[in-house]
A and B are shown apart, each in its own frame.
Chain A
Amino acid sequence: MQKISQKSIHKYLRHDKKFPHVWCPGCSNGIVLGAVIRAIAELDLKKDNIAMVSGIGCSSRMPVYADFNTLHSLHGRAIAYATGVKMYKPEMDVVVITGDGDATAIGGNHFIHAARRNIDLTVILINNYIYGMTGGQYSPTTPHGDKATTTPYGNIDPTFDICKLAIGAGATFVARTSAYHAVETQSFIKQAFKHKGFSLVEIISACPVIYGRLNKKGDAPTMMKQMKDDVIPIKQYEKLSPEQRVNKQTRGIFINDTEKMEYTLAYQELIDSLKVPKGDSNE
């Protein structure tokens, strides 16, 4: 693996913006931003050919700090905006940075329909189990029984499995990993960039200041250690008994389908098929 130094990462950051960034101490969003930049630097993509789109939320602050074409849009509508960008400029690499609440609660509709169309977007979904920026409300991925500011006695809602949702909706590259596994995160993001079609990388992340404090999960390093034990490879998960599987998450690539037609290509084919050939226009 080609080594990307910290110094070369600084080339991709906007130094005129307010650094250090807005995220709390120990928040995994910075690790994911580093992984995204490392993946882009490793693939040697042009800065001008990347569009980074986000909605509202902690994770969606990311395009503010990265030096690409960036679009900070409405809550939950990041994928809708990104679809527009991709349809107008199909040669661009469009990457969507979104959170669990942003993508699956308020923007759930856009998410499943972008997956159904199989449009060539790279969706990086940072799952911290809570709405961090708005004060700690419970989200569709808050585990059963865990506390949030709107569920002070424990959450009774069942949770979403985002990867299964995306596979069911028709996404062609789906992977899950955690922010602790930073090298794997980088490699999955790299593969998602290369993949033609809707690609989703779900990254389990730590929110030590709101989710961790409300549920007594400890400080940032303790949460990261917990993540190391709880997010395990698919093969290892299959060997476990049902009692041992409680609170465990799988990581790895769930689907990598290169057969399905990509949406912008299908659209271009339709345009080409309807064009009137030269010489026939006077008939």
Chain B
Amino acid sequence: MPKTHKPEDVEKLKEGTIIRKDDRHSKMEVEVPEVKSTGDYKKTPVYIYYDWCKKCGICVTFCPTGALGRRSDGSPYVPNPEKCIHCELCDRLCPDFAITGAKR
């Protein structure tokens, strides 16, 4: 979890009610705030660049295995990281270059 968040905010982050805004200046590879996985940055199957995301919902709708989910504000997150098969369909269908499911 990022240092800038207060402890009460971390609980909200887990519930999916707020989005992270602190990585505003990093253009690429913004960490996905994980909900269920262990939180190991390198093992995250899907990176989402929240700075560029416009919450259109295309990646969540067309994810073939259901690895992606949608928060109440419309932004995507990864509720089931173990389901990702690295098909990269979200890469291709994202209009904003804001997500990648490629293997690293």
Contact = CB atoms under 8 A, between A and B. Distances in A.
A20 B55 contact: no
B29 to A, nearest CB: 8
Contacts of B91: 5-6, 34
28 contacts: A3-B102, A5-B102, A6-B97, A6-B102, A7-B28, A7-B102, A10-B97, A19-B27, A20-B51, A20-B96, A20-B98, A25-B56, A26-B95, A29-B95, A31-B93, A34-B94, A34-B95, A35-B92, A38-B92, A180-B93, A220-B56, A220-B58, A221-B56, A221-B57, A221-B58, A221-B61, A224-B62, A224-B93
A26 B54 contact: yes
A6 B88 CA distance: 9
A9 interface: yes
Interface centre among B55, B58, B95 (most CB of A within 10 A): B95
B55 A31 contact: no
A186 B98 CA distance: 19
Interface centre among A6, A13, A220 (most CB of B within 10 A): A6
B96 A219 contact: no
A5 B94 CA distance: 13
Contacts of B56: 25-26, 208, 219-221
A30 B58 CA distance: 12
A180 B100 CA distance: 17
A219 B98 contact: no
B97 A221 contact: no
Interface in B8-58: 27-28, 51-58
Interface residues of A, number: 33
Closest 6 CB pairs of A and B: A30-B95, A26-B56, A6-B100, A221-B61, A25-B54, A182-B92
B92 A7 contact: no
Interface of B: 27-28, 51-58, 60-62, 88, 91-100, 102
A77 to B, nearest CB: 27
Nearest to A228: B62
A27 interface: yes
Nearest to B27: A15
A30 B96 contact: yes
B66 to A, nearest CB: 14
Interface centre among B53, B58, B100 (most CB of A within 10 A): B58
B19 to A, nearest CB: 14
B26 to A, nearest CB: 11
Contacts of A220: 56-58
A21 to B, nearest CB: 7
B83 to A, nearest CB: 19
